[in-house]
Amino acid sequence: MKDGITKQYAVDEVKDTVKYMSNNADEYGIDSDNIFILGYSAGGYHAMAAALQLHKEGINVSGQILCYPFISDISEQYSELTDEQKKTIPPALFILAGDEPIGKGSPEYKSALDDNGIPTELITYDGALHGFIEENNPEYDKLHFHDSKSPEQEKMAGQTEDDIYAWIDKIIND
């Protein structure tokens, strides 16, 4: 906890954003029946926890996109759900970067979802480094010194974006 800000505070921020966008969908021209939550690294944890907590509250998102998420232990969030809720959790796409240790909790969460018949997909990008997706976007131009910003990493980031779009399309249209 830094400066009084907890993990739950960040999760609540994600939940509040989902609720706001859903309640104001017409104003923003979005389909409130097709809201997905995406998070990178620690944000992957926040996305997962928000999706589970919203689900527990009876508010569903269409999917969770968890990019190299820091999921160390799912039991805290997952165990609070009823057996019926566990069977209706939103689908999840897991994006992992090569052989990094931070995403090691993803298979445990994926397995829990699979055990309850929840659609999941796990894609590992061999050779990709942690942060490769967002760090290869134009707003990260100042990070040229970082290993995950390179032509090879940029190519994988582009492929990842295509894979995410294809997964969203599959979830919406199946």
> Residue 163 above 80 pLDDT?
yes
How does strand 92-97 pair with strand 120-125? Answer: parallel
**What does the pLDDT look like over 26-70, one tens digit per residue?**
999 999 999 999 999 999 999 999 999 999 999 989 999 999 998
> Residue 153 above 80 pLDDT?
yes
Q: Which two tokens stand for residue 33?
A: 């029946």
Q: Using CA atoms, how far apart are residues 128 and 45, in angstroms rounded to an integer? A: 20
> Residue 79 above 70 pLDDT?
yes
Q: What is the pLDDT of residue 143?
A: 56
Segment (H or E) for 165: helix 151-173
Q: What is the pLDDT of residue 93?
A: 98
Superfamily of domain 7-173: Alpha/Beta hydrolase fold, catalytic domain (3.40.50.1820)
pLDDT band at 2 (very low <50, low <70, confident <90, very high): low
Q: Using CA atoms, how far apart are residues 92 and 118, in angstroms rounded to an integer? A: 8
Parse the chain into domains and list their residue ranges.
Answer: 7-173
Segment (H or E) for 92: strand 92-97
Q: What is the pLDDT of residue 142?
A: 63
Q: Is 23 exposed, middle or buried (0-12, 13-18, 19+ CB in 10 A)?
A: exposed
**What does the pLDDT look like over 111-136, one tens digit per residue?**
999 999 999 999 999 988 888 887 77
> Residue 82 above 80 pLDDT?
yes
